[in-house]
Each structure stands twice: as C-alpha cells, then as structure tokens.
Amino acid sequence: MTLPDGSELALPLLERAGAQPGPTLALLAGVHGDEYEGVQAIHEVMRTLDPARLIGTILAVPVCNVPAYLAATRCSPLDGANLARVFPGDPYGTATERIAHVVTEHVIKRADFLLDLHSAGIAYSMPTLVGYAHEETALGWTAREAALAFGAPVVWGHPPDPTATGRTVSTAQALGVPWLYTEAPGAGRVQPSDLACFTRGIRNLLHFLEMLPGDPEPGPGPLHLLGGGNLDRTPRAGVSGYFVSDVDLLAQVQVGQRLGRILDPWGDTVEEIIASRAGRVVMLRGLPRVFAGDGICLITGELPAD
C-alpha cells in the first residue's frame, strides 16, 4: 500500500521451514503498537531455533501494526483504528483494514494454530497470562490443553462471546484455527520475567504441537480464570482526571467495593469507581491520566474447582 509521501507500507514476515513437513504455527505481535514483549519474544525464538529439529513451519509477524508501532500508540495514527477490532480486514479499506486483510490472507489462513502476543500497553496493566476459548468443542479442548502447556502463571478461559468480533482470534475461530493470546503488565517496557515467560511459552507450544521433539517445560500451577475478556466492556471513567487505584492486579473484590478514585487537578475526588461484580481484577488502568470514557478496570471469574 502506498502512503501519501510515496513510501510503501509493508509488514515484516518471518518464515522458518523445518527439516520435516508438519503443521504451521502463526505468531503475531505488535497488533497494538505500544506492546513490546511479543516482538522481542518472536525474535528470540526465531534466532535460537534449530531448523534441523523443527517439524513444520513457523510464520511470524513481529510487528503487525507498523504505523502504530512507529508512533508507539495502541491505535493507528493513520486512521485512528484499533487493528484488533477490524479483522478479517478489507483489501479496499483504510490502512488498518488493509493490514488486517494482509495478515488474514497471508498468515492466519495458512495457520494450523495461531498465537497472538499482546500485553497491556502503555495505558493499562494486566497480569502475565495466556488466554484461550473455553468451550466444549474439539477446538476448545485443543486450545485449553495448549494454554496449560504454555506455562504462564495465569490462564484465562473465555466462554464464546459473539460480540467480541474483529480480533485476530475471532477470525481464527471462524476459520476453525485454534488460538491462544497473551497479556502482560506492559507499560511500554519489557520485563525480563515476561520475556522469559513468552519465549518459554512459544517453545512449549512448539513441543505441544509436536513441532519440536520433547515435552513442554511445566510452568507454575496456574491461577485459572474464567470469564469474558472484552476490554470494550470495562467500567469506564465518567469524568476526566487522575486515576488512583485502591486495588492490585489479581485482587479478589466484592460487589460495591471501591476500586479507585478519579481526582481533579486540585486533588479532590470527583468520581469513585465501584465494583459492580465480585471476582478477580484482571485489568487495571495503568496510565493515571484518564479521559471520560477510558476503561478503568476489568473483573473476571475463576474456574470452579472440580
């Protein structure tokens, strides 16, 4: 695609074919332009992988949303769009819709399994986790086993949500491609522990998919969350101001509990954010400056013990 200055918008695509034929694993990162852990994890895995031991093919796009990556923003500066809301894209659409179309056609449609590496970016904070489709189908069972094999400290299952469209993973789901995605604290930095978790997780996924010999390296016994993960439906700030949180990530909260406050420039509280449900805090606003309408917090449930 040609930009107004005559330069071409192109995406980096890495392809590593193993010595033997087998499944294709697609790795995506940088769908949001201010999330870095996955970018680095893809490079680390691709640089250290021995193709002689690899069975099948890895397709990786370490930076999907190139314009947002250049601006270090979640959404694209070219059209304001969130790449994670416009999949499967449109070849005749805006810049972001065209990127989604290219990723769908050249990566997701070729994949037998999709891993989309996100983190919470600059504005939010989330625990280091792997998310999957929690449903009683062959695709759901594969995804759940893969999520547990990934080895993250938190595993988050999402029951089917027909309103959560436009994602890489909703496009994969519609194509029958099992998928996982990740989150991490983010904040525009890469913590060594998150990088280690993601690189180990990708290698564990390769073992799980029998694309590398050997078994996944087990992670810690995970906290297993269950519930909707749609960040579009979080409690939102009613006013603009400075957000101060009362709770930590993964705190267990009760209905009616105060989660935080929004202060005006004089330090007075102008809004209290109250929990409308009980559960675990899985996303918190990280950037204190908020505008009215910004997402503040997401609370989810836990998988009931058998």
Question: Which residues here bind Zn ion, judged by CB under 5 A?
Answer: 32, 35, 118
CB of 210 to Zn ion, least distance (A): 29
Tell the smallest beta-carbon distance from residue 231 to Zn ion (Å). Answer: 9
Judged by CB, which is closer to Zn ion: 118, or 134? 118
- CA dist 96 → 64, 117, 129 (Å): 10, 18, 26
The residue among 260, 255, 256 whose CA lies nearest residue 283 is 260
Residue 70 or 278: which CB sits closer to Zn ion?
70
Look up residue 199 and give its two tokens.
Answer: 């690189």
Q: Residue 118 or 144: which CB sits closer to Zn ion?
A: 118
* Cβ count near 191 (within 10 Å): 15
Closer residue to Zn ion in complex, CB, 126/147: 126
Q: Which residues contact 6 (CB under 8 A, 6 or more apart)?
A: none
DSSP state of 83: G
Distance CA 68, CA 78 (A): 8
Residue nearest to Zn ion (CB): 118
Q: Is the separation of the CB atoms in 104 and 91 below 8 Å? A: no
In whole angstroms, the minimum distance from the beta carbon of 4 to Zn ion comes to 27
Q: How many residues does the chain have?
A: 306
From the CB of 32, what's the least distance to Zn ion, in Å? 4
**Shortest Å, Cβ 121 to Zn ion:** 6
- Find the helix packing angle between 37-48 and 192-208, rounded to 10°: 50
Cα gap 138→161, rounded to integer Å: 17
Tell me whether residue 32 or residue 101 sits nearer to Zn ion (CB atom). 32
The nearer residue to Zn ion, 188 or 238, going by C-beta atoms, is 188
Q: How far is the CB of 136 from Zn ion (least distance, A)?
A: 28
